[in-house]
């Protein structure tokens, strides 16, 4: 089994790169012969639609660039794996240019396609039979439907080139891969799915439905949380300027943003543990001039970004202190003794926070 991995992501510190690396990790556990090709580092000129490769030099493009060597790799491979970010509801321009330049592999004449239409004959039918296409696509938006045009394009490409579609890995909400505290178990399943996909590709050239489904598991709680967190992410990135171009730099800031931490805490309310509780909790962060009121009412909870004159419990500290307490990087008792964390009112409510709002586990 020969597998050709075609990377078409220009940004090497992004999520397409990370997911392709996970796939490659699993692929390397198989006996498959692997070629890892970065299309963004190759010189691929655009197709001119001139038919030179049909009429003047059959099978050879008028362009003299890196595509000739890539076409030979395609002919040698049993499985093509294409990894691309989602750009404007489609594949990257690099990968689009690559597929346009595969025209020299086709020949005159038409044959029935697997989808019931017609496709071009292939120039090297003896070297083409049984080839499969697997795709990896990653994007920031959380609606799986926005990936449909790109995935359908890949399906038509497979049909047009007479390739068997071996599977499609779709990863929405890709930037949330940097935030394991939100859904740690789901994140592990997603990462394991991409590794398993590599194993399956190297063994059979086909991905199981279970693996493809696990790769797309949701990470955000709902559309409103996703929208709010995305806006916070970009607000932090803009403040960081050029440093914000690296997702890992932004992750450090976003992970400590109290707007997200408080929302995540509230999202994890245990209705059973809070069934008999009626209380108003006030969280004040004077260094950022942010105030949050959390109202617990017999198994229900409401969050308002405002202040309350007489809450049952008031928690006051700097935002950074709360971030370290929330993520268990700071001992609560030490923070209280050092007056970095100040409590007013019913302090027993603070002692019960972990029971009322247990950390996420899935």
**96-114, pLDDT tens digit by residue?**
999 999 999 999 999 999 9
Mean of per-residue pLDDT scores for the chain: 94
Give CA–CA dist 357/362, Å, rounded.
14
Digit-coded pLDDT (tens) for 294-350 = 999 999 999 999 999 999 999 999 999 999 998 888 999 999 999 999 999 999 999
Instruction: Write out the two tokens for 234.
Output: 């970009």
Digit-coded pLDDT (tens) for 221-232 = 888 888 988 998
332 and 342 in contact (C-beta within 8 Å)?
no
What are the structural domain ranges in the chain? 2-215, 256-356
185-189, 282-286, 356-360, range with greatest mean pLDDT: 282-286
Q: What pLDDT shows up at residue 182?
A: 62
Report the predicted TM-score, pTM, of the whole model to 2 decimal places: 0.88
Q: Give the containing element (helix H, strand E) for 301.
A: strand 300-304
Residue 258: closest CA among 327, 331, 343, 351: 327
Instruction: Write out the two tokens for 237.
Output: 């990135």
Greater pLDDT, 83 or 186: 83
Please give the order of strands across the beta sheet that includes 79-85.
33-38, 2-7, 79-85, 132-138, 164-171
pLDDT (mean) for 269-284: 95
The count of C-alpha atoms lying within 13 angstroms of the C-alpha of 346, restricted to the half-sphere facing its C-beta, is: 14
CATH number for the region 256-356 comes to: 3.30.1050.10
Q: Say whether pLDDT at 85 is over 80.
A: yes
The gap from C-alpha 212 to its chain's centroid, in whole angstroms, comes to 13
CATH number for the region 2-215 comes to: 3.40.50.360
pLDDT band at 362 (very low <50, low <70, confident <90, very high): very low
Digit-coded pLDDT (tens) for 13-56 = 999 999 999 999 999 999 999 999 999 999 999 999 999 999 99
pLDDT band at 181 (very low <50, low <70, confident <90, very high): low
């Amino acid at each position: 089994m020969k597998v050709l991995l075609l990377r078409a992501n220009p940004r090497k510190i992004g999520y397409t790169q990370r997911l392709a690396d996970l796939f490659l990790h699993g692929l390397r556990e198989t006996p498959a012969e692997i070629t890892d090709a970065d299309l963004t580092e190759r010189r691929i000129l655009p197709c001119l639609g001139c038919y030179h490769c049909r009429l003047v030099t059959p099978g050879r493009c008028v362009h003299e660039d890196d595509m000739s060597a890539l076409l030979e790799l395609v002919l040698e491979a049993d499985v093509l794996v294409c990894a691309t970010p989602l750009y404007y509801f489609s594949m990257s321009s690099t990968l689009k240019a690559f597929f346009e330049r595969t025209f020299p592999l086709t020949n005159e004449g038409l044959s029935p396609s697997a989808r019931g239409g017609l496709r071009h004959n292939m120039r090297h039918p003896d070297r083409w039979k049984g080839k499969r296409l697997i795709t990896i696509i990653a994007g920031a938006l959380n609606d799986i439907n926005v990936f449909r045009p790109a995935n359908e394009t890949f399906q038509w490409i497979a049909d047009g080139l007479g390739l068997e579609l071996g599977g499609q890995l779709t990863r929405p909400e890709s930037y949330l891969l940097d935030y394991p505290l939100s859904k740690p178990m789901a994140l592990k399943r997603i990462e394991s799915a991409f590794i398993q996909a590599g194993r399956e590709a190297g063994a059979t050239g086909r991905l199981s439905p279970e693996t493809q489904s696990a790769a797309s598991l949701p990470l955000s709680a709902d559309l409103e949380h996703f929208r709010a967190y995305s806006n916070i992410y970009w607000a932090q990135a803009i403040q960081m300027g050029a440093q914000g171009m690296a997702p890992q730099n932004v992750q450090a800031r976003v992970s400590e943003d109290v707007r997200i931490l408080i929302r995540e805490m509230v999202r994890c309310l245990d209705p059973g543990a809070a069934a008999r509780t009626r209380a108003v909790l006030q969280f004040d962060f004077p260094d950022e001039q942010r105030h949050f009121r959390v109202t617990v009412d017999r198994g229900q909870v409401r969050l308002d970004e405002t202040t309350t004159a007489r809450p049952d419990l008031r928690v006051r500290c700097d935002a950074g202190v709360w971030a370290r307490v929330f993520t268990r990087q700071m001992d609560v008792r030490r923070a209280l003794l050092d007056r970095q964390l100040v409590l007013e009112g019913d302090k027993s409510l603070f002692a019960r926070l972990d029971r009322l709002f247990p950390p996420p586990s899935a």
